Amino acid sequence: MPPTSIRDVAKLAGVSVGTVSNVLNRPEGVSQDALTRVSHAIEQLGYVRNDAARQLRAGVSSSVGFVVLDGQNPFFNEVVRGAEDEASKHGIAILHGNTDEDAGREGMYLDLFEEQRVRGVLISPYGDIVRRLERLKARGIAAVLVDRFSGNGRFSSVSVDNVAGGRMAVEHLIETGRRRIAFVGGPFNLRQVSDRLAGARVAAESSGERVDIEVLPVEALTVDEGVVAGRRILDRPKRDRPDAIFAANDLIALGLLQALVVSRQVLIPDEIALLGFDDIPFAAAAAVPLSSMRQPSRVIGQTALRILLEETNDPELIPRQTVYLPELVVRQSTVKDAG
């Protein structure tokens, strides 16, 4: 079965290839007669446009790449989902790449997407890739940073104010009477992590109370790393333990929770309060329902894609930083009788 081309359609409809193309792309300038004849021919042959040829000639791609920091994190899945919904409205497909906090994979996917001449790239960056993105831009491939404020203002970004989020988080812990607060997170070259910590410090310093922030670094933002950190806390004598933990994200928090709850040595929130970040769907279903800083994840994805398309339509647009404020969701891991 030879795949049918626009030429086959033209022959069957008794028109020229140009007319078929017009039917496909600018039907308003085609006569009723031609329009129906071509439509029938398309139907009859089961013709489907070859996007490679279209892209080659028209120079317009109908796919967008999304380089995701952590595919196992439900937060990012929500973001992707938001972008997908928006993309599908425009007949655009999303090329998907997981980096899992690995700069090598990040580069590989950018290479791949450059070969594909994607319309643009959404990326939650891990390494320092501004130069890489500059190069793509020079090639006409726009990029929008997701979940990360753009350092130098050369690219648009859609993110949450992580400093404010960290501040709000720790303010909540202080308000509920905590003074010895541990921040569990890492790696610190992730801007999200260091910003949240910075916010935490701001809250501690401006509280007017004596508040300690102790930093417990972990290797990655995963449940497993959270468990490891939890065990390390359990190893300490009771009096040396913090009275609250602010986890850099919910995966860490769930890991901590698991370690602490399983041990049966620690009461949450009585002895240690626990607060996460992202408010993933599983946070509410945890052993002790998890308080968390909610990010508007779907909206982030949707907005990022929308901005990307706007920029590819008009490359002269000035990059803009879109920042949402996270929202505190209080559950029983910080307040015993919370809803």
Cα 316 vs. chain centroid, distance in angstroms? 25
CB of residue 15 to DNA, shortest distance in Å: 4
Residues in 91-110 that interact with a second copy by CB under 8 A = 91, 93-98, 105, 108-109
Residue 31 touching DNA (CB under 7 A): yes
- 21's enclosing H/E stretch is helix 17-25
Q: Select from 21-29, 68-76, 134-142, 228-236 the region that touches DNA (CB under 7 A).
A: 21-29
**Which range binds a second copy by CB under 8 A, 14-22, 185-193, 195-203, 282-290?**
282-290
Q: By C-beta, is 190 or 256 nearer to a second copy?
A: 256
Residues binding DNA: number (CB under 7 A): 28
**Nearest residue (CB) to DNA, 38 versus 275:** 38
- Both tokens of residue 204? 């501690």
Identified binder of a second copy from the candidate list 5, 176, 258, 322, rule CB under 8 A: 258
Other Cβ atoms less than 10 A from the Cβ of 239: the count is 5
CA 312 to centroid of chain Cα atoms: 20
The residue range among 7-15, 68-76, 196-204, 286-294 that interacts with DNA, by the rule CB under 7 A, is 7-15
Q: Is 19 in the site for DNA (CB under 7 A)?
A: yes
The partner in contact with residue 6, picked from a second copy, DNA, none with C-beta cut-offs of 5 to 8 angstroms by kind, is DNA
CA 192 – CA 324 distance, rounded (Å): 14
Amino acid of residue 336: K
Binding flag, residue 44, DNA (CB under 7 A): no
CA distances from 333 to 225, 244, 249, 269 (A): 19, 10, 14, 5
Residue 329, phi then psi, degrees to nearest 5:
-115, 115
Among residues 69, 84, 86, 294, the one that binds a second copy under rule CB under 8 A: 84
CA 336 to chain centre: 31
- Kindly tell me which residue out of 18, 31, 281, 338 binds a second copy, with binding defined by CB under 8 A: 281
151 binds, among DNA, a second copy, none (CB under 5 to 8 A by kind): none
State yes or no: residue 1 binds a second copy (CB under 8 A).
Answer: yes
CA 62 to the chain's CA centroid? 21
Residues facing residue 142 across a β-bridge = 120
**Contact partner, 22, from DNA, a second copy, none, Cβ < 5-8 Å per class:** DNA
Instruction: Check binding of 114 to a second copy (CB under 8 A).
Output: yes
Spatial neighbors of 284 by CB under 8 A, at least 6 apart, are: 290, 331
Instruction: Give the pairing type, strands 93-98 and 63-68.
Output: parallel
Distance separating alpha carbons of residues 40 and 12, to the nearest angstrom: 9
> Which is nearest to 155 in space by CA: 301, 306, 321?
321
List contacts with a second copy (CB under 8 A).
Answer: 1, 3, 46, 48-53, 55-56, 61-63, 65-66, 71-72, 74, 77-78, 80-81, 84, 88, 91, 93-98, 105, 108-109, 111-117, 135, 138-140, 223, 254-255, 257-258, 262, 281-282, 284-289
